Chains A and B, each alone.
Chain A
Amino acid sequence: MEKSNSSSPRPRIGVYVCHCGLNIGRTVDCEKVAQKAANVEDVQIARDIAYACSEPGQQSIKADILEHGLDRVVVASCSPRLHEPTFRQMVQSVGLNPYVLEMANIREHCSWVHQNDPDAATEKAIDLTRMAISRARSLTPLEPDTLPLTPRTLVIGGGVAGIQAALDLADSGFEVVLVEKKPSIGGMMATLDKTFPTMDCSI
């Protein structure tokens, strides 16, 4: 196992293995995954949890962070493309940097795609969690920059959708640049006769 820089204190990692109801729990032995994770170096606490993203789930993780002085959190659950923002906010709300959160995708990449092989799925979940832990060990806090923003929107297309988006934005006080390739806006809608359900003219 790779040793981190001896001059800095050892990381304190908490690991949470989500059942996602039966989505993960039916295929992966979440308790076993948590037990295995608990034996990995630097892991202070590891446990399975019914729904990590739920309010009670998040509350219990937050309580652990404070109680055990955790400085890294691994959530083994769904795709980070779905809930990474959720869990980043969670760790942030108890004073941690959002970038010390790491996720292991044991749903989309594991329980859902190995439904007929629970043992292999559990082994994979153990590996994915272990990989996440070893990555978490070397995560460092990062700070976002603030940049100015141009409060204008480019709307590409002047059909009914582009018209509506442009009007909503403009009526809300934002400038809009509306680009239409035909000589007039209106798009396909303008060619239609009476439109459902009001049966009035579409223009």
Chain B
Amino acid sequence: MTDVGRHPRIKLYTLSEVVDVTGYVGNFTAKILKKSRYVDEKACTACGDCAKVCPVVRPDAFNYGLSSRKAIYSPFPQAVPSAYVINASECLGHNPAVCAKCVEACSKGCIDFHMSDEEITETVGAIVVAAGMDVYDPTEMDEYGYTRFENVVTSLEFERLINAGGPTRGEVVRPADRMRPKSIGFIQCVGSRSARKGGAYCSNVCCMNTIKSTLALKEHYPDMDIKVFYMDIRAFGKGFEDLYTRSRRLGVQYLRGLPGTVEETPEGGFRVAVENAASGAVIFYDLDMLVLAVGMKPPESARKLQEMLGLQLTPDGFFLEAHPKLQPVDAATRGIFYAGCAESPKDIKDSVTQASAAAARAIRLMHKGEILTDPITSEVIADQCKSCGRCAEVCPYHAITVDVQKKTAAVVNTAACAGCGTCAAECPFDAIIMNHFTDTQILNQVDALLAEVPQEKILAFACNWCSYAGADYAGVSRLQYPPNVRLIRTMCSGRVDEKFIWEGFAKGAPVILVSGCHIGDCHYIDANHWTKKRIEKIHKKMAKRGIRPERLQLEWISAAEGIRFSDTMHRIEALRQTVTASEIADTINMLKPTY
């Protein structure tokens, strides 16, 4: 940690959050909001004179409220930067001079109440998302009585209790009466592996964390009675099984079955009812203290970062990698990498491993000092452009400039163009070519798809990042669905031109599906808003022409939603079967004059 603080090439912003990111791989611009510390980070020597005189006492969050601190405090002894910080909402303030005792106490004059929040802009080529995780709050699991009984603690509170640098200097005592417990019970999978409460996934670290804690306890208190209630012990990593065996050899009892109820005894201990998973018998255990092995949750910031950076999340809420086996640290967005628990629950070793991998991936990108852009960008045919400005209006990247007044042709900044193709789909004069996804290329696919027995086929457009990937995920999961659907890939659903739809119907398509990322998840900021508007417009035209609007479907399917993709295909096939031959023939006839 101290290496980070003094590294000449690391610029550290604490109390800071990334609030906006624009740009693309190689050249991102990040806006960072740095909240005020009210203490000069560089001048402060962490002598602590300020805290001594501070009259405000508050629970110490670092110790989960098991100890107290002042309104001006050091987060923890080894903090980096090792400077004190004022919690402004707790501080009594100095204006009017209510308190300001700390200012007087500080001989170096580090404290400045006039410090204000700063907004900083940084340009970077790559981004590593290491946003960490949140801890499951066991309040909702009332059967364990976390909020009712003081002597029921979480595994993290227990970590602070047994830590030599913690509030009790490593002496394990019950929070309620400061008595050393003679017996401790650990309850596993609190907030993990449950469809009902917490996450359905395994949080990965809690088994080993408990095993480690039992060993530490046995080292301090060899006679302590320790019981672990579990459903499975997952000790799969290198050296894990050895640790587990050691814990059992030292007399820790591992009991299969999770407690159904916890009742407090008059002595402040607990009577725990556990159904033996093997015999079905309910057995009662008396224990002085309980530790809940709480699971991990995705970080609170996940949703915000996901939207800001155009990333994807799994249904669990953790970040989705570009490929689960071959690109496990890459985001689907080029230049962004994942490290640590933000991607999935993992222990320190795995976090460090993934972080090194993410660094290596970022270095692989940066070491050449330049970057090859994807030539999948749009291009204006100047002769055909009527300078209406529609393309510039819909471009999510403001990559197109057009002077509507002077009637000069639109110009695409290819460096800023990300290649969604919305401009090409929206141009009323066909004056924009979307390279690699041209009208001709896509219409050729539509025609080939519908060349034979079109009435039996389902034409589906899928965006590369979400829906096409969702279809891949359905494949990887071997989800079976009707075989008559054929997908046409576009980079974004925003590329799906109105004329592709009419071509499909004119060539006898019974139903057409357009699919893309969920609103808010679009890989191209918000290009799929235009998809939605366009489909609504086509629906109206269909209704006017006497074509059943249901025959054109719009569905949002994310890269993690293989099941949703498969379900959608079943639904669309059912819809297809309702479309009659005469309906299709009428549509073909009606659309003939325009083609």
Contact = CB atoms under 8 A, between A and B. Distances in A.
Contacts of A63: none
Interface in A157-196: 157-170, 172-196
B127 A180 contact: no
Most chain-B CB neighbours within 10 Å: which of A79, A152, A160, A161?
A161
Interface stretch (B110-118, B144-152, B248-256, B486-494): B486-494
B159 A81 contact: no
B471 A109 contact: yes
Contacts of B160: 191, 193
A2 B355 CA distance: 51
Interface stretch (B4-12, B285-293, B396-404, B533-541): B4-12
Interface stretch (A43-51, A54-62, A143-151): A143-151
Interface string B401-437: 0000000000000110000000000000000000110
Secondary structure class of chain B's binding surface, majority of residues: mixed
Contact of A177 (B11, B62, B445): B11
Interface in B119-157: 122-133, 135, 156
Contacts of A148: 26-27, 369-371
A187 B26 contact: no
Contacts of B342: 157, 161
Interface stretch (B373-381, B515-523, B577-585): B373-381
A162 B355 contact: yes
Contact of A116 (B62, B474, B480): B480
B475 A112 contact: yes
Contacts of B239: 196-197
B28 interface: yes
B128 A162 contact: yes
Given A112-B475, A143-B375, A131 B348 contact: no
Contact of B444 (A113, A138, A197): A138
B78 interface: yes
Given A120-B484, A124-B483, A134-B444, A185 B340 contact: no
Given A124-B486, A163-B4, A178-B12, A192 B448 contact: no
A124 B487 CA distance: 11
B132 A161 contact: yes
Given A162-B128, A181-B15, 13 more contacts: A112-B476, A113-B479, A128-B486, A142-B435, A145-B373, A145-B415, A159-B351, A162-B339, A168-B356, A172-B359, A177-B124, A199-B212, A199-B215
Contact of B339 (A130, A152, A161): A161
Interface in B194-215: 208-209, 211-213, 215
Contact of A109 (B131, B438, B475): B475
A66 interface: no
B212 to A, nearest CB: 5
B337 to A, nearest CB: 8
B46 to A, nearest CB: 11
Interface of B: 1, 3-5, 7, 9-18, 26-28, 30, 32, 37, 62, 75-76, 78-81, 85, 122-133, 135, 156, 159-160, 162-164, 166, 208-209, 211-213, 215-216, 238-240, 243, 299, 301, 305, 323, 326, 337, 339-342, 347-348, 351-352, 354-356, 358-360, 362-363, 365-376, 414-415, 435-436, 438, 440-442, 444-445, 447-449, 451, 457, 464, 468-469, 471-472, 474-476, 478-481, 483-484, 486-489, 566
A121 B483 contact: yes
A168 B27 contact: no
Contacts of B166: 193
A149 B369 contact: yes
Contact of B359 (A117, A146, A156, A164): A164
A190 B355 CA distance: 17
14 contacts: A79-B468, A113-B481, A114-B480, A127-B449, A135-B442, A137-B444, A142-B376, A155-B130, A157-B129, A161-B351, A176-B10, A182-B15, A182-B75, A193-B166
Contact of B79 (A135, A138, A183): A183
A157 B79 contact: no
B156 to A, nearest CB: 6
B125 A152 contact: yes
Contacts of A143: 375
A182 B14 contact: yes
A169 B440 contact: no
Nearest to A180: B14
A176 to B, nearest CB: 5
A31 interface: no
Top 6 nearest A-B pairs (CB, nearest first) are A161-B340, A108-B475, A168-B359, A184-B79, A162-B130, A164-B355
A22 interface: no
A24 to B, nearest CB: 11
Contact of B131 (A80, A156, A175, A177): A156
A47 B202 CA distance: 46
Given A176-B10, A203-B78, A165 B130 contact: yes
Given A109-B472, A116-B480, A178-B12, A185 B4 contact: yes
Contacts of A152: 122-126
B448 A134 contact: yes
A170 B7 contact: yes
Given A157-B340, A191-B62, A185 B80 contact: yes
Nearest to A107: B475
A193 B216 contact: yes
B324 to A, nearest CB: 11
A194 B18 contact: no
A115 interface: yes
A108 B476 contact: yes
A157 B127 CA distance: 11
Contacts of A187: 132
A160 B478 contact: no
Contacts of B469: 81
B3 A196 contact: no
B475 A186 contact: no
B238 to A, nearest CB: 8
A74 to B, nearest CB: 12
Given A109-B471, A153-B126, A193 B163 contact: yes
A179 B127 CA distance: 11
Nearest to A202: B348
A105 interface: yes
Contacts of B78: 186, 190, 203
Contacts of B326: 82
Given A180-B12, A203-B1, A99 B476 contact: no
A176 B468 contact: no
A130 B448 contact: yes
Contacts of A139: 436, 441
A94 interface: no
B7 A167 contact: yes
B447 A151 contact: no
Contacts of A178: 4, 10-13
